[in-house]
């Protein structure tokens, strides 16, 4: 159905902007054959999610909602050929969006949607030079180009999308006994290690958000995105790729998270930080940069990613970080509202809230303060849910973070993690 690409190293020379942002609403478009086809069910999908419901443990909280919302998502946001559409950003597709669909499909046991999404991604997100594929990672942005045709717009990769995709492939290989998925995961792991990790002072290795050329502005500086760090994934990668020291990325991830959080007077993670590898000091990114050092839509994912590590692998580092770095948000919640953007001084930058933040924070609070988690669910998350959709029907990012945040990590069979 899809092919295994040849591997070759390449240095990308084009800067990569953040894959996640606060999007403004836009209406779905229709035009030529490559444009989105809304409300077309994927192969094997059904208006009745009974089959998917049966695959979640009966003890799963919000079990029916999770099955229903996935069914609604794949009908509205996943085109019939497997392309995930971001209606709020000119109907583009991203490696992040494709990977979220893969993760959700394997977590809820939907092999047909998984195969379709993977097929489209492998066939359309290839990184090429001169018509030849350079490696097995995915170009991060695909959409309508200036000449009116549809295709890859930015051939740089975004490591969070590739990490999520590789995680999904590994879990899928175990869940559905598909060795070809594991073969592809291992192929991608080689390129992820070679192209998206870097060894610096004292031999410490760090995960870069994308190509070296985009995120290493000089010999002693790294631009890092804490929300890309996925310690649970690195532990799984170490199981299937013992040739590389993936556990070293677990250590550096927690080091960056803990030390860079000190940039914030209220102890919150930032979307982006700069690390001076000679001094070990963290700084905000230059004011002229399009990448910002503040607590915003990227940072929310830190709560979810560490919740997975705490639950799946009993990580004391994850538990400790979730306890300490959510203190300010817990304080804000005492007033029943948390702003969507907060600067490093702890000042709210907007007067609106974000369901995606509440859902990611819900995952953390389930471990830290279950009473707050229940309040977030009842007062901020469930009220936004209507007929399978959270909030705006075009809000692709919200749908994914809300679903991932609500799915209990323990709903994933333990056999898939080892």
Q: Would you please indicate which residues are annotated as catalytic (active-site) residues? A: 96, 160
Q: Tokens 């990977």, residue?
A: 99
Strands 221-224 and 150-154: unpaired
| 266 within 8 A of 342, measured Cβ to Cβ | yes
Strands 126-129 and 385-386: unpaired
End-to-end CA, the chain: 27
Residue 101 CA to residue 99 CA, distance in Å, equals 5
Length of the chain: 418
Non-local (6+) Cβ contacts of 399 within 8 A are: 69, 73, 77, 389, 390
Structure tokens at 311: 């639950």
Cα angle 118, 119, 125 (rounded to 5 degrees) comes to 80
3-state secondary structure of 389: strand
Query: Where do runs of H (alpha helix) occur along 337-395?
Result: 355-368, 370-376
Q: Which residues of 204-214 are buried (b: 16+ CB within 10 A; e: fewer)?
A: bbbbbbbbeeb
DSSP single-letter state for residue 218: B
């Amino acid at each position: 159905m899809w092919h295994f690409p040849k591997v070759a190293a390449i240095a990308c020379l084009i800067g990569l902007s953040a894959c996640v942002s606060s999007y403004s609403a836009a209406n779905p478009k229709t035009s030529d054959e490559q444009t989105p086809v809304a409300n077309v069910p994927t192969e094997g999908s059904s208006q009745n999610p009974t089959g998917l419901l049966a695959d979640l443990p009966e003890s799963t909280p919000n079990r029916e909602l999770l099955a229903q919302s996935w069914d609604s998502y794949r009908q509205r946001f996943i085109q019939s050929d497997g392309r995930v559409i971001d209606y709020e950003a000119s109907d583009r597709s991203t490696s992040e969006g494709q990977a979220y669909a893969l993760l959700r499909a394997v977590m809820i046991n939907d092999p047909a949607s998984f195969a379709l999404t993977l097929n489209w991604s492998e066939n359309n997100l290839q990184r090429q030079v001169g018509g030849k594929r350079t490696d097995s990672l995915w170009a991060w942005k695909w959409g309508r180009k200036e000449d009116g045709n549809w295709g890859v717009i930015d051939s740089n990769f975004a490591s969070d999308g590739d990490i999520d995709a590789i995680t999904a492939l590994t879990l899928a290989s175990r869940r559905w006994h598909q060795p070809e998925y594991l073969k592809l995961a291992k192929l991608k792991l080689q390129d992820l290690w070679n192209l998206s990790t870097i060894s610096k002072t004292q031999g410490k290795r760090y995960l870069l958000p994308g190509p070296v050329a985009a995120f290493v502005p000089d010999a002693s500086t790294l631009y890092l995105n804490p929300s890309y760090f996925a310690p649970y994934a690195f532990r799984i990668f170490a199981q299937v790729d013992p040739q590389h020291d993936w556990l070293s990325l677990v250590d550096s991830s927690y080091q960056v998270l803990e030390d860079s959080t000190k940039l914030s007077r209220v102890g919150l993670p930032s979307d982006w930080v700069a690390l001076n590898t000679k001094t070990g000091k963290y700084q905000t990114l230059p004011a002229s940069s399009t990448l910002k050092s503040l607590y915003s839509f990227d940072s929310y994912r830190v709560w979810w990613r560490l919740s997975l590590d705490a639950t799946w692998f009993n990580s004391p580092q994850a538990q400790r970080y979730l306890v300490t770095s959510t203190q300010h948000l817990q304080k804000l919640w005492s007033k029943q509202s948390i702003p969507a953007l907060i600067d490093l001084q702890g000042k709210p930058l907007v007067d609106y809230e974000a369901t995606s933040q509440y859902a990611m924070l819900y995952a953390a609070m389930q471990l830290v303060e279950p009473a707050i988690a229940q309040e977030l669910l009842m007062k901020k998350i469930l009220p936004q849910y209507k007929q399978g959709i959270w909030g705006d029907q075009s809000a692709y990012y919200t749908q994914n973070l809300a679903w991932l945040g609500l799915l209990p990590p323990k709903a994933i069979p333990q056999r898939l993690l080892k």
